[in-house]
Amino acid sequence: MPKLPIECSTATNTTMDGRNILAFAGCNYLGLANDPRVLQAVRAGLDRYGLSTTASRETTGNTTAFDELELALSRFLGMERSLLLADGYTANIAMAQALATRFRTVLIDAKSHHSVHDAARSAGLIVVSYPHGDTAAAARLARMHTDADPAGAIAILTDGVFTSDGAIAKLPDLLAALPNDRSLLVVDDCHGVCVLGPEGRGTITHFGLSDPRLIVTTTLAKGFGSYGGCIAGAAWFVELARAVSGIYRCSTPIPPAVAMAANEAIRIVLAEPERLDRLRSNIARLRGRLSELGLPIIADGPLIPIFAFVLDGPERMDRVHRSLLSDGILAPYIKYPNGPAEAFFRVVVNAAHTNEQIDRLADAFARRLPAMGLLPAVLHVGSACGPDLESPARRSSVEGVA
């Protein structure tokens, strides 16, 4: 799918080439990117601070908007402290730069986001990948590399919810895999925050975990519908990142107005739990409708808004995608690293979609698949973070379960 010529957008619709398209795309899980109160916070911030600080935070570019947002993020994520970065990618780079002062080797789930792998390598860490979701392998590798490391400790890095297919990492098993108290488990939770856990506080709270060895990185651009990223965790680690991370210390932060918008988004998430309830209701509805069509969607387990799957043959998948666009529906057919195949459907529902819109999408699939002689190419359905299916061209991926 080429870059889309989006002219304007709402939480549920985009305009392309003058046409209004119903969209099940992106990651605006709670619809906050378009909330009038969030947008008003940006306007107020522009009036108060202007567009940019024009300097790094550790020189003359700090504002109270950043300090207030870091405090709000720490409280929301249940961590001692947090550090604001430009986005989720740079948050991972800053995290890895801090890790590199204490560790030599890190273990990374093979299907973690590219930013996790890139960050570790750019920081000079030795990267050892373990098979996707194989926590037993992670535990074996952790023991082996810890025994061989002069520091006698290791860090395990994983996505909380994997971006391409919605699988959920088995965090309790990974935490148990840490060989000692000096080791760390780092969770990139960009797609778990505002989706999983009580009040949407993320994958760690979904599992009810509380451990000083847990570090979280996340974005503000998905569930919070804003912009920026952060590291959150024990105060010593966050302060270490603040002290040693060049990407933090030597770059201009996000516009203060955007920080004010993110703070407003956090306030809304906590004040309006019905927004998360609506997201989960919409996920359940779409899951049920797609399951009825025979698509490889697991019918139970945690509710994740990402539905990733493949049909028989990339050419015919592209035809289905284009035919849905002709119906005025965007069901993205994309190429993205670590997906279930080289190209796949990645359909996302959010809290702003109505029942009628969800049914319109499902009904369109119900019409288009038989019309093109297509049935889902289901080999078998694997559990979350399970082993890869045999044939990359035909394997199917599903929503993750714990």
Band of pLDDT at residue 401, cut at 50, 70 and 90? very low
171 neighbors 179 (Cβ within 8 angstroms): no
Which helix H or strand E contains 369, and what residues bound it? Answer: helix 355-371
On the question of pLDDT at 165 being above 80, the answer is no
Q: Residue 184 forms beta bridges with which residues?
A: 155
Q: What is the mean pLDDT of residues 38-43?
A: 98
Of 148, 149, 145, 147, give the one whose Cα is nearest residue 130: 145
Range(s) of the chain covered by CATH 3.40.640.10? 35-270
Range(s) of the chain covered by CATH 3.90.1150.10? 6-30+273-371
Reported as a single tens digit per residue, the pLDDT across 260-309 is 999 999 999 999 999 999 999 999 999 999 999 888 776 667 899 999 88
Spatial distance between the Cα atoms of 196 and 386, rounded to a whole number of angstroms: 20
The larger pLDDT score, comparing residue 401 to residue 325, is at 325
The larger pLDDT score, comparing residue 214 to residue 310, is at 214
Which fold is adopted by the domain 6-30+273-371? Aspartate Aminotransferase, domain 1 (3.90.1150)
Cβ neighbours of 328 (radius 10 Å): 14
What single DSSP character describes residue 87? S
Residues 6+ apart with CB under 8 A from 47: none
On the question of pLDDT at 114 being above 50, the answer is yes
The larger pLDDT score, comparing residue 20 to residue 373, is at 20
Reported as a single tens digit per residue, the pLDDT across 242-264 is 999 999 999 999 999 999 999 99
358 neighbors 305 (Cβ within 8 angstroms): no
CA 380 from centre of chain: 25
Model pLDDT, residue 402: 26
Q: What is the mean pLDDT of residues 10-26?
A: 97
Least confident span in 32-41, 74-83, 316-325: 316-325
Which fold is adopted by the domain 35-270? Aspartate Aminotransferase; domain 2 (3.40.640)
Instruction: Give the pTM.
Output: 0.90
Model pLDDT, residue 1: 65
Cα–Cα distances (Å) from 261 to 32, 33, 35, in that order, read 10, 9, 10
